[in-house]
Chain A
Amino acid sequence: MATSTRVDGDAAVSAVPVSAGSPRARLRASAPMITFIGRRLLSSAVVLLGATFIVYMLLAYSLDFLQDLRTSTAPNKEQLIQARIDLLDLDVPPPLRYLSWLGGVAGCAIGRCDLGGSWVTGQATPDLLATAIPSSLQLMSVAVVLAILLGVTVGITSALRQYTGFDYGVTFGSFLLYSLPSFWVAVLLKLWGAIGFNDFLADPTLSWPTILAIAVVAGLIWQAVIAGDRRRRALTFAVSAVATGAVVWFVTATGWLNDPSLGPVVIALLGAGAAVAITALAAGLRNRRALWSTLTVVGIGALLWYPLQFLFPYATGLMIAGLAVVTVGVGVLVGFLYGGPDRGQSMRAAGITAFVVGFLIFVDRVMAVWEPYNNSSRVSGRPIATIGAQTPGLGGDYWVRTLDTFTHLLLPTIALTLISFAAYTRYSRASLLEVMNQDYIRTARAKGLPERVVTMRHAFRNALIPLATIIPLDIAALFGGAIITERIFAWSGMGTLFLKALENRDIDVVMGYFLVIGTMLVLANIIVDFIYAALDPRIRVNA
């Protein structure tokens, strides 16, 4: 681990010189590390304990457990109230009830967890959590990955084009997204986006002025991104506008949307484009070996397209995951075989390209089931779903289920992505601007490095350090689910679990929910400390 080597260096100053490499020396060297971890874990445990106490007290004092019985007209009202008090131990003061809850949690240490359960439905808390967590993870992981990728890309581009129209546009856009109430956006997407898009899919034609407008907007965006002098901008605008217009026209005029497919030729073309772009960023187009290795990977992918179609009918989730790993492995291997003085670059570029090509082949196969899916009696021509995680009673093979999941994930994912996208854009923009003003960037430029190397190797990597410390916290938040988005799209994840438990006054379930997210957050905070120490050599772990 990277951190421990640094701690080694730190401790070597005070440590008694013992022959390097002996177990005792290593133990002594890592002593500050162990103390650090121990302290950190201890203080985190105290924080978590305090937080659970606060939440329990808030719940115990703010929920009225007898509300429904007070207004009841049942003849045995007194008896019912007494039964409720006995059931929930309401005659015991809340701090003591907290202690008994804590005792149940402490039982986890000896393998006998008692997290209680819902007194309304009788389900145990761990069972409820076990169904809710995977559901939330499924919903949110795509959104977080997308938000990180898009947000960092846009933020970095915006920083590299500081004080241009594009930068101002992105800044305004991210402020706007930041200010959007998530529930409003989600309802808009659901009631307006889904219905509108489904209506459009039923008759996918666009008028010429619409196509023209889309083309012009795309051209304007691309010329702002690529920037440069007036000639270059005009050229970019023309090319991207014509290309966009042609694609939009083709897609609507040929009814592609109702029977989409890519086919080996389009996959090869898109793959080649991706290969050039990835090589340009990761290794530079001057690096011919890298370019050839990425293009070779695309060729292999296009050739494998046909034989793979015979394998795909037997696909399972596990097999696809295995294929993805194999694909990346093949890409890395191709890069390795091309050799050369700087193998790492070729391997990296080819590995990423292989993943992209593999993903295209996967998408192509999912597209093949679009038409039967769309026309099935359960979906009946309205594919973009607004509620739940799957179409009930749909059946079908792996591909149909994948497509079904996709159509259900689409809208909540957009709603979730929009808001965290803004935050990532702001962070990465600010972070890169800060780095670009550093002296070592000037040094790198002064020694004649090409701007690509300065940006990608010197600036970009350092700009990611502050970002890398936010990402674990966001991943921890995944486990908490999205309370509002889940409610609107009727997704039965952690957020829904929490709201339902709060409405039912299920104190044990709410506490179980909080225990999960609290633990995750506390752990993420520790991980952040380590990432920081590992990435930034100026920061040392000292106990």
Chain B
Amino acid sequence: MTTPVPQTPDTTVHHDPVQNTENAIELKEVEGLSQGRIVLRRFVRHRGAMVASFALLGIIVLVTTSIGWGPVPGWWQWGPNQLTPVVNPGGSPTMGMQDGGFQIGPHPFGQDNIGQDVFARVMRGTQISLMVMVVIGLVATSIGILMGAAAGFLRGRVDNILMRFTDMVITIPVIVIGAILGARFGQATPVVLAVALALVTWTSMARLVRGEFLSLREREFVDAARVAGASNVRIMFKHMLPNAVGVIIVNTTLLMASAILLETALSYLGFGIRFPNVSLGTLISEYQTAFNTRPWLFWWPGLFIVAIALCVNFIGDGLRDAFDPRQRRIPSQRKMNSAQRKAKA
């Protein structure tokens, strides 16, 4: 016969009524949802991040379908290296208000001095810059995770060696090492350049993952996994990594935003993507001398860089808020005021 264990009164209840209600509301909202759903919900609620996601998606669709990707043809009539007859004097853009309505015309972004279609060239440049950005993001994240996880989990001598190595790489400014690597790998395909740049941009990720692993390895579920007989590798990647995924994803987006700026800056300096490949940076460098006569050559590549970097930064911000468990829904000042007025009435 078993006697029922007397229920001990819960002494951990907050005595702050406001905080209690707030917590209750918060808990009610996420009741029965998985962690992934909660994060997704919070992300969708972040207006800036949602707008940025759709904008980035729009850019990607436009860029990949318009002039095609690899052997797949696109719907745009000109190719990036095709010489076309000059339409407007000087090749100025045909997009704008004409004949009583908004017209796109055959060359919406204009033509350059030898008659190439700027829209097609910007699309090609964006394709390559985006691809370099994604490759840098993925490769640097993987290296950072491996380095950081090993250092944080194994600690001791391994940690010491890996972190001193990270310090060494951090000491070298990214643009300096990027220029040196670019001087060597710039002629090769963009993927090779991207991997080379990823080899120098993984450092912040490694430090972050290490910190995260150092604190996670003290948790009970790690002990539980070890008692159950899991190997080190299994504990690291099956048990601990999913718990660090929030930090990693957020940092990856920020890494990507700085990666596109790094690649375009190197290409601008002449150490990045080179002829016959074009990136947004090479377009700007190629066209900057024509700024006074053909300003449109210079505007569009820059605007695409800004748009992409801004979208990625906003998505990162939204993800950070979404993964942050302390995040509460904050009504705007106006909503607060109107609620107060209602309460008074």
Contacts and interface: CB of A to CB of B under 8 A. Distances in A.
B314 A51 contact: no
Nearest to A62: B184
Contacts of B173: 477, 480, 517
A61 B288 CA distance: 32
Given A163-B330, A163-B333, A183 B268 contact: yes
Contacts of A502: 179-180, 183, 271
B172 A55 contact: yes
Contacts of B48: 172
Contacts of B306: 176, 179-181, 184
B343 interface: no
Contact of A518 (B171, B313, B317, B332): B171
Nearest to B335: A163
B171 A62 contact: no
17 contacts: A48-B171, A50-B165, A50-B168, A51-B171, A55-B172, A59-B180, A164-B333, A181-B264, A184-B302, A187-B291, A188-B302, A195-B292, A484-B269, A498-B176, A499-B179, A514-B176, A517-B176
Given A47-B164, A50-B164, A179-B313, A187 B265 contact: no
B168 A483 contact: no
Interface residues of A, number: 44
Interface centre among B167, B291, B317 (most CB of A within 10 A): B167
A121 B302 CA distance: 36
Interface of B: 48, 164-165, 167-169, 171-173, 175-177, 179-181, 183-185, 257, 261, 264-265, 268-269, 271, 281, 284-285, 288, 291-292, 298, 302, 305-306, 309-310, 313-314, 317, 330, 332-333
**Main secondary structure on B side of the interface with A:** helix
B181 A58 contact: yes
A175 B333 CA distance: 22
B180 A483 contact: no
A487 to B, nearest CB: 7
Interface string A177-204: 0111111100110011001000000000
Given A163-B332, A183-B268, A187-B291, A55 B180 contact: yes
Given A47-B171, A163-B332, A498-B176, A182 B310 contact: no
Given A51-B171, A175-B310, A183 B180 contact: no
Nearest to A484: B265
Contacts of A514: 172, 176
A43 interface: yes
Contact of B168 (A51, A179, A180): A51
Nearest to B173: A480
Interface in A144-186: 163-164, 172, 175-176, 178-184
Given A43-B164, A62-B183, A183 B265 contact: yes
B56 to A, nearest CB: 12
Contacts of B288: 187, 191
A179 B169 contact: no
A499 B172 CA distance: 15
A522 B171 CA distance: 7
A54 B333 contact: no
A43 B168 CA distance: 11
A164 B335 CA distance: 11
Nearest to A164: B333
A437 to B, nearest CB: 10
A191 B183 contact: no
A369 interface: no
Contact of A46 (B164, B172, B261, B284): B164
Contacts of B281: 181, 183
A394 B168 CA distance: 46
A361 to B, nearest CB: 40
A518 B172 contact: yes
A62 B181 contact: yes
Contacts of A182: 261, 265
Interface of A: 43, 46-48, 50-51, 54-55, 58-59, 61-63, 163-164, 172, 175-176, 178-184, 187-188, 191-192, 195, 477, 480, 483-484, 487, 498-499, 502, 510, 514, 517-518, 521-522
Nearest to B326: A437
A175 B314 contact: yes
A517 to B, nearest CB: 7
Pick the 10 closest A-B CB pairs, nearest first: A62-B184, A179-B309, A50-B168, A184-B302, A179-B310, A51-B171, A51-B168, A191-B291, A47-B167, A183-B268
Nearest to A520: B171
B19 to A, nearest CB: 13
A517 B173 CA distance: 9
Contacts of A62: 180-181, 183-185
Given A176-B306, A176-B310, A184-B305, A483 B175 contact: yes
A179 B181 contact: no
A163 B329 CA distance: 11
Contacts of A164: 333
Nearest to A195: B292
Interface centre among B176, B181, B265 (most CB of A within 10 A): B176
B332 A58 contact: no
A420 to B, nearest CB: 14
Contacts of B284: 181, 183-184, 187
Contacts of A176: 306, 310
Contacts of B314: 175
Contact of B177 (A55, A191, A484): A55
A528 to B, nearest CB: 13
A499 B175 CA distance: 11
Contacts of A59: 180
A522 B314 CA distance: 32
Nearest to B175: A483
A54 B291 contact: no
A422 to B, nearest CB: 10
Contacts of B172: 51, 54-55, 514, 518
A498 B175 CA distance: 11
Nearest to A505: B183
Nearest to A182: B265
B338 to A, nearest CB: 13
Given A183-B284, A192-B291, 17 more contacts: A47-B168, A51-B168, A55-B176, A58-B184, A62-B180, A62-B184, A163-B330, A179-B309, A181-B261, A181-B306, A182-B265, A187-B284, A187-B298, A499-B179, A502-B180, A514-B176, A518-B171
A47 B160 CA distance: 12
B50 to A, nearest CB: 15
Nearest to A518: B171
Contacts of B180: 55, 58-59, 62, 502, 510
Nearest to B284: A184
A63 B164 contact: no
B175 A63 contact: no
A7 B22 CA distance: 43
Nearest to B314: A175
A415 B242 CA distance: 41
Given A51-B168, A62-B180, A484-B268, A178 B302 contact: no
Nearest to A61: B184
A191 B292 contact: yes
A197 B201 CA distance: 39
A480 B177 CA distance: 13
B334 to A, nearest CB: 9
Interface centre among A178, A192, A480 (most CB of B within 10 A): A178
Contacts of A191: 288, 291-292
B264 A499 contact: no
Contacts of B291: 187, 191-192
Interface centre among A62, A183, A510, A517 (most CB of B within 10 A): A183
A510 B271 CA distance: 15
Contacts of B332: 163
Contacts of B181: 58, 62
A63 B175 CA distance: 17
